[in-house]
Amino acid sequence: MAKIYCIANQKGGVGKTTTAVNLAAALSQLSFNVLLVDLDPQGNATTGSGLEKNNLVQSVYEVLLDRADIKKVITHSTSGYDILGSNRKLAAAEEELLSAARKELRLKTKLDEVSGQYDVIIIDCPPTLSILTINAFCAADSVLVPIQCEFYALEGVGQLINTIQLVKKSLNKSLDIEGVLMTMFDYRTNLSNEVYSEVKKYFKDKVYKNTIPRNIRLAESPSFGLPIML
């Protein structure tokens, strides 16, 4: 069975999608079988993987609502990994799921069908703690939290940790925090170092020693539908 990571932080623009796409590509270059799940109605991971999100015939939306077979919706990306794409339609799923049975476990049930075909599954979450993110927490073995090196970095982190702990208590006992990744680190500023220290005080050994530098190529690569190494 695949190891399933979800990339989550309800703060917007902290580097979740950039991490998801580039991690998927890097692991697939290392010969792992990887599935990337775009669980965000913005569809950024879909676009960043070279797919035209508005032309998807079916997407993660139809899969979650039992209207399509996950095996038929997954496609192969030019970057080497498989992808379950998403687009604006997924926004409707949030409402439709609220009245559905086992609404938190929809994604888990679907991923169980394909998990045996992959080494790693990476779920890119939306910038909310909605039912979509709860579905990701229920399906995942662990959560990778990207934090942007900026002044308000830790704002909302308490709420994120509470939500993870609630899910751990009730729906997914094995859920853990995989690690905390500092993104858009700028070596020229004191701020980045100060934020790193603050985050380290809070998360201790969970913070990765390696940080992701602010890098224009990383910002440009989604417009080519490619990860940074390609």
Least distance between Mg ion and beta carbon 40 (Å): 5
Read off the tokens for 97. 């799921």
Strands 34-38 and 82-84: parallel
183 interface partner picked from ligand ATP, Mg ion, none, CB below 5 to 8 A per type: ligand ATP
Q: Does 11 bind Mg ion (CB under 5 A)?
A: no
Is residue 212 within 8 A of residue 10, CB to CB? The reply is: no
Dihedral pair phi/psi, residue 80, rounded to 5°: 105, -20
218 counts as binding ligand ATP under rule CB under 6 A: yes
17 lies in the site for Mg ion, by CB under 5 A: yes
Per CB under 6 A, 82 contacts ligand ATP: no
Instruction: Tell which positions 183-202 bind ligand ATP, by CB under 6 A.
Output: 183-184
Cα–Cα distance measured from residue 217 to residue 47, given in angstroms and rounded to the nearest whole number: 16
Q: Which is nearer to ligand ATP, 132 or 212 (CB)?
A: 212
Contact region with ligand ATP (CB under 6 A), list: 60-68, 73-81, 189-197, 211-219? 211-219
Minimum Å distance from CB 223 to ligand ATP? 9
Q: How far apart (Å, rounded) are the C-alpha atoms in residues 160 and 152? A: 14
- SS3 for 59? coil
The H or E element that residue 90 is part of is helix 90-98
Which candidate, 150, 111, 108, places its Cα nearest to that of 15?
Answer: 150
38 lines the binding site for ligand ATP (CB under 6 A): no
- Pick the piece of the chain touching ligand ATP (CB under 6 A) from 16-24, 52-60, 61-69, 152-160: 16-24
The answer to whether the beta carbons of residues 147 and 9 sit under 8 Å apart is yes
Residues that bind ligand ATP (CB under 6 A): 12-18, 40, 42, 44, 127, 183-184, 212, 214-215, 218-219, 222
